Amino acid sequence: MTLIATEELRSMKIFRLAGLALALVVALLFAVFVGDQGPWYFAWVIGTVMIVLISGAGAVLLDAQEDGVANTEKLS
């Protein structure tokens, strides 16, 4: 029973890896094609992701800053 479960887990892992590898290949092909044919479209995709991530990082930094202040106040 345990052996079957382990086998299933292993094949699921392989499927997941294969899926991720396929997604990676598609992403690379997309990047090569769009980067070549539509450099500004590509820049928009990359730029928007970057803007979203930096903006989110700013908010997380604010959380950390406020947590830091709260901890300092507690300690003092």
C-alpha dihedral sign at 7, 12, 18, 20: negative
Min. distance of Cβ 11 from other proteins in angstroms?
24
DSSP, collapsed to helix, strand or coil, labels residue 33 as: helix
Comparing CB distances to other proteins, the nearer of 54 and 75 is 54
Min. distance of Cβ 30 from other proteins in angstroms?
14
Comparing CB distances to other proteins, the nearer of 40 and 76 is 40
Q: Using CB under 8 A as the criterion, what x/- string covers residues 29-68 for binding other proteins?
A: --------xxxxx-xx--xx-xxxxxxxxxxxxxx-x---
What is the DSSP code string of 10-46?
A: HHHHHHHHHHHHHHHHHHHHHHHHHHHH-HHHHHHHH
| Site for other proteins, rule CB under 8 A | 37-41, 43-44, 47-48, 50-63, 65
